[in-house]
Structure 1
């Protein structure tokens, strides 16, 4: 090995991240989208690390949006709270906000609660154009089901109906309600395992897809009128509803598919929804992003479901293709996660080499420099399904690597 691993690493901090990124071919400013990945969900130690790093980047580098792997529509509730909405900062209001506004059950995390509490405190007394914003960038999706498109479609229709000539609308609100039917038709959990239970290819769903396309097109066509009659914030929210309505209807369409393409297409639709949301946020200003490594990496993502290998292009790969050097990605790798049965990594793996040579405190590794000098290590195999080791072949495509030697149990 031509380079000692210790020579490629430094203590993790915002200054260290930006110094490392300055060595990359990119515009002379911090990247517009700076993404930090995690290899497992639900570890408050890693989320506390995220909070500390993001706080430095907000305070010292002017980032003004934090986007998490969470429901994009539910996240509007958190954004309203951190920018001074109802509740006055009381713990009871915070409890409700994180429970309803952060999906996948992650609102219960003490670290996520701390992040939201700090964001609201940071915004106190700041002018509206300098406030820190919160966003979920995932679709309203879970592993076993997807949301009804009702919320997104009806909100989009109502926004347009309030301002444009009624004759331009593709349908009335009553027609929309009739076509949508009950939400339970859309959210049936059994659909994940039985495509024939899905309404995603019913005549009503097909008509709704056409209506969603027409409403989205009308929103773009009428943008000058809407911007004159409403705020840009309201128009941006309508665009979020348009993206989400179309994405959900596409997702339900593939939920009803019975071919081998079903699962890869579902993963692809979700990845595209994530990417579209991130690109829209980047249009507003610099964004800090946090999600699983597999959603943010530049390479094709892979997983097994039902024993079958699946591949898709993640949000990070799609965003990187659009933004180029204005997208930066720092995956996180771990040494041990003993409370989940992940013990000291084998010495011939990437994590094993890092664990052996780096200090126990979190480190920032120059991933590309290390990849250029390191003989490709063996891929680590995790004994626990919830932790995904870093693919050593992906090391050189990352802008840096955060390494945490030992993750303690925090609750």
Structure 2
């Protein structure tokens, strides 16, 4: 029985660590690297350059503001003539006190400051995927780049004109509705050549919809002067639920394409007849009820990472356990030569199966008893990694994958164990990020 003086948490935590990992584990503490983070602000984007009109650079043409209802067409949402601060048309509020409310989507400025958000529309015949963009989080994505159209004489094939425009595309999902929203911003309209530019047209469209399971938008189409006057478009893509309940997972890949044409001058040919796909992103809808809000829409390509802090007093013992399982797995229990533990470079997989979760916990607690004997459950818990709620757990891992005992158990502070497992993992990670059964994620210690 422990003396009463051991109840002071700082002293007790040190003694518990030494008892849990033994002498070899305690010696590792002296060699753990300190966490550090260096961040530098991104450079701001360059200022817009001058227009090119009939081969001569100069000031852009000016047009009067359109009627607010002038560009309301089926499939796209009217944008206000004046952008709000930051150039963002997105209507979702920033996350407040509700932990299930997603963070705000990326702004136009954030997107332009992310080099990984830049995309390069492919040349004809180029099959390389350079259109992925940047995922801010599970709900926010953006891409930016320059679309170029070359005008050629239909008879001679000679290039006689060129049009370019910069685009910024912001997409965001939803926690509470089966809905994605996309906003497209255009600027830096440049054109050169003997073309009647005031009669030229441009279209922006969303494609990749499954029309039987998704409510798909059409296209915003207008003249070049109209686009210069209102250089943005918005699209909403939804997926209605069907009878029968269940998760109703629907996956897809949405593309954004831009098309430029001179219908008043058919003698000019402008590349692909349906325009150029400038960006794309995989999407997923679901109606799972075990992650809080019963419906949602996320970007599955975002790399999910569950992070524990080795400095925070309410999770440092869990963090130490995970860190040593990654870096010194042979010194964790059960111990065997060549042991590795998944989670850092091999993803874990969320498992929504209460009975299987209990089987993982039972096996882990039996292993703890073999190592430590009985313990005071008011003070300590048997911590396991990978987590019991993953397919890589102590029981389901060997059963599913046929590998050895690639897990670790250790007695740690009860409050620490339950805070990480219940609050951080279940409430703050699985739930708001809509981590469903079968979804992969990684684990990091900072």
Q: Which entry has the higher C-alpha Rg, 1 or 2?
A: 2
One fold, TM greater than 0.5? no
Q: Which has the higher helix share?
A: 1
**Normalised-by-shorter TM-score class:** under 0.3
The normalised TM-score by structure 1 is: 0.27
Q: Which has the higher strand share?
A: 2
